[in-house]
Amino acid sequence: MSTTLATTPATLNGLDLAQMHGTVGLLQQQPALARFEFRASNRWVSGGENRSRIQSFYGAGAEDTSRSEAWEFVNGEPPVLLGANEGANPVEFLLHALAGCITTTTVLHAAARGIEIRRLATELEGDLDLQGFLALDPSAAVGYERIRVRMDVDADCSDADLDDLLRFVHAHSPVCNTITRPVEVTLERV
């Protein structure tokens, strides 16, 4: 007679499940550890080109020291917008941030629900009227009027469970939530 022991996977969707559950448990016990401050700095180069650096942040009750070097991101504009294609423009970076955050939120919460993601690909499109940015039409929005996100997801769950997960992701992705509700942004000269 053979016996088969049911085992729990150590990882799901590339995430260490024990670490994930440990982190969530710790945050439930000590909510103050959930407070984070992320930072970026930016320097103008010329024309539409500027560069952002990201390295330090505060989280889990301490200043993070895991990043020995900063990441640098080049912001640019296409020629039609007076640039030289130095890099993606800021509204394109916003789409990148939204796609990345929705993807990470989906993978993390799928793992928490025991759902294996086999494939996940996202395409985003945003509609923007430059008349708002250029103050040519006071009725035109200054930023995106709408953003469409199309996710192609193959997961080991029912369509209803996947739809429920994606509704949850829409409500709990930090970037998605930030751009779908009013958020205070202060701009001051120093």
pLDDT digits (tens, 9 = 90+) for 12-23: 999 999 999 999
Provide the pLDDT for residue 7: 61
Over 60: is that where the pLDDT of 180 sits? yes
CA contacts within 13 A on the Cβ side of 186: 3
Residues 6+ apart with CB under 8 A from 127: 144, 145, 146, 147
The predicted structure's pLDDT at residue 102:
98
What mean pLDDT value characterizes the chain? Answer: 94
What pTM, to 2 d.p., does this model score? 0.90
98-131 tens-digit pLDDT: 999 999 999 999 999 999 999 999 999 999 999 9
- What is the full DSSP assignment across 37-101? EE--EEEEEETTEEEEEE--EEETTEE----SS-EEEEE---GGGT----S--HHHHHHHHHHHH
Domains in the chain (CATH in brackets) are: 34-87 (no CATH), 89-183 (3.30.300.20)
